[in-house]
Structure 1
Amino acid sequence: MTVRRSGEGQPERTLALLWRNHRKRAPDAGRATPGREARGAGRRPSLDVDEVVMAGIRLADEQGLVAASMGGVAKELRVGTMTLYTYVPSKEELLDLMVDQVLAERDLPGPGEPRPDDWREQIEIYSEQTRAMFQRHPWLAQVSTIRPPVGPGMLAGREYLLSAFLGLGLSPAETNTAALAITTYVDSAAGLEAESELIERATGQSNDSWWYERSDLWETYFDVERHPAMTAIWNANGYQSSTREAATESYRYGLDRLLDGIQAMAPETL
């Protein structure tokens, strides 16, 4: 499965596009703005950046990330590829815009908006919304965000998690570390779930079916003496009946233990 990387575009150009609706001040007069087509006086635009981004997301959702190429999006919007470049200058910027748009779809409560009082319930909202986002857009599993698109959607997630921990009495560094730990765990697990979905779609075969085809491993090749721990768990009926159930249980277990650990470190909860 091919992996693409976010954050590969030209920085100034990418930031201008990501924050196009959140400018603190208007651009300097006469200065060219990324995503704006040079047009004659009175000529109305046929597209805008939002339409381009949503078309890319729609194609990626329906046909996979490879379909959301500049040519593919141009065809979807019934314009020439060169016309599309006047709105989004490259495939790198388009990818960042798509990723940040779906991050914003989580619609996490912002400053002053209603949210649960309990911090753990606030983290549950992040968990649920993030997993649902990956389920709606499984192509996200094909995008490495080690260098993320630093747009409104990405920053909204960071702000939400930090605010959830502010009342626990953790130091600023511990607060940031706790938020990063949640992001690492939840986003990684949600990405693996999405990757599993992509593989099942691509192959037409479920993970359980894939394992069943390899069931001869246990009868022919598995040595109980070399794998005593696995054997003990098997004999005690410790394995889930399906890979999906096992993934769900392990995710829940891991998140609960992570939250328990953060709570144990927080003076205000002791």
Structure 2
Amino acid sequence: MSEFSGSTDPDRILPLLWRHRNARRATTGRPPRLTVDRVVAAGLAVADEDGLTAASMAQVAARLGVATMTLYTYVPSRAELVELMVDEVLAGRRLPGPGEERPAHWRDQIHLYADRTIAMYRDHPWLCQVSRVRPPLGPGMLRESEYVLSTLGALPVPERNTAAVTIIMFVTAAARQEGENAQLRRASGESNDSWWSRRGRLWEDWFDVEQHPAMTDLWNAGGFDKGPDEQAVDAFAYGLRLLLDGIGRRSPGAQSSETTGLRSSPMP
């Protein structure tokens, strides 16, 4: 069952999301026993190990060795905690910011974004349970938008945001599927290839070649020789390549996205 980010009071969540901006270090007195960072880290540890549902305020408090009510001094509710956890994971991709080193070619920059996003969902599969239709408006989310937009600087301005949103939607959809696969493997102890193999009798006992001629032709040509996991990898690479080819051709004067196309993002 999905949880929805963005349901929190902006006056409470925004200062928490941006707590590191202009943060002042205390110069006197004892350091606090807990910090928001420690609470978020504990929530991430619980969710990574046991799933998002397990990351209740009580379980996070137990992980920290404090009373549950103590957490509310730092995070108002579980809804805020989940948003903080999501943005922390988004920021953890370490996408290059302005002035930071990045691949020279715009396509390689997008591939870096895609690889790190897929790895993020694989490492934190509970993210699949959080809808980001209304995302946490923190540094992690804004870094994603800034990075993808910065790779598309040669596009006309009206198209730039549309292209960036298209890339983010495509990559995130594939990454969420990878996260779901990771959750299924963990819950069932079985790979997708094994799951399909155990249902092989479908093709012998129930499959009607006359009702499925396109599938039959593809089968006879070897189009289904690869397992579902490998097919998914190929499909993502194919789709991303076509998407970037199309975007590259929208660059002024572009003839081929592999040669001219979008210029590389300017390096400092």
The residue number in structure 2 matching 1:35 is: none
- Counterpart CA distance in 1 for 2:233 and 2:75 is 39
The residue number in structure 2 matching 1:3 is: 2
- Counterpart CA distance in 2 for 1:135 and 1:211 is 21
Gaps of 5+ in 2: 256-268
**One of 224, 232, 235 as aligned partner of 1:247:** 232
SS in 2 for 1:74: helix
TM-score (norm 2): 0.90
- Counterpart CA distance in 1 for 2:241 and 2:250 is 15
Q: How far did residue 265 of structure 1 move?
A: 1.4
Q: How far did residue 215 of structure 1 move?
A: 1.6
- Aligned-partner residue type, residue 155 of structure 1: L
TM-score (norm 1): 0.90
- Aligned-partner residue type, residue 82 of structure 2: L
The residue number in structure 1 matching 2:48 is: 61
Is 2:131 aligned against 1:137? no
- Aligned-partner residue type, residue 123 of structure 1: I
Q: How far did residue 196 of structure 1 move?
A: 1.0
Q: How far did residue 172 of structure 1 move?
A: 1.5
User: Is the CA contact (8 Å cut-off) linking 2:192 and 2:228 kept in structure 1?
Assistant: yes
Is 2:32 aligned against 1:45? yes
- Counterpart CA distance in 2 for 1:264 and 1:44 is 56
**One of 220, 225, 232 as aligned partner of 2:210:** 225
The residue number in structure 1 matching 2:99 is: 112
User: Is the CA contact (8 Å cut-off) linking 1:60 and 1:66 kept in structure 2?
Assistant: yes
1:175-221 CA-to-partner distances (Å, cap 9, x unmatched) read: 10111011000111011011011011111222122212222211111
Per the alignment, do residues 127 and 156 of structure 1 end up closer, same or farther by CA in structure 2, a change over 3 Å counting?
same
Mapping of residues 93-108 of structure 1, within 5 Å:
93-108=80-95
Gaps of 5+ in 1: 27-40
- Counterpart CA distance in 2 for 1:69 and 1:171 is 46
Q: How far did residue 42 of structure 1 move?
A: 4.2
The residue number in structure 2 matching 1:195 is: 180
User: Is the CA contact (8 Å cut-off) linking 1:122 and 1:164 kept in structure 2?
Assistant: yes
**One of 234, 253, 266 as aligned partner of 2:219:** 234
The residue number in structure 2 matching 1:161 is: 148
4+ residue runs over 3 A deviation: 41-44
Q: How far did residue 173 of structure 1 move?
A: 2.1
Per the alignment, do residues 102 and 181 of structure 1 end up closer, same or farther by CA in structure 2, a change over 3 Å counting?
same
The residue number in structure 2 matching 1:76 is: 63
Q: How far did residue 250 of structure 1 move?
A: 0.6
SS in 2 for 1:223: coil
- Aligned-partner residue type, residue 11 of structure 1: P
SS in 2 for 1:110: coil
The residue number in structure 2 matching 1:92 is: 79
Moved more, 116-125 or 49-58: 116-125
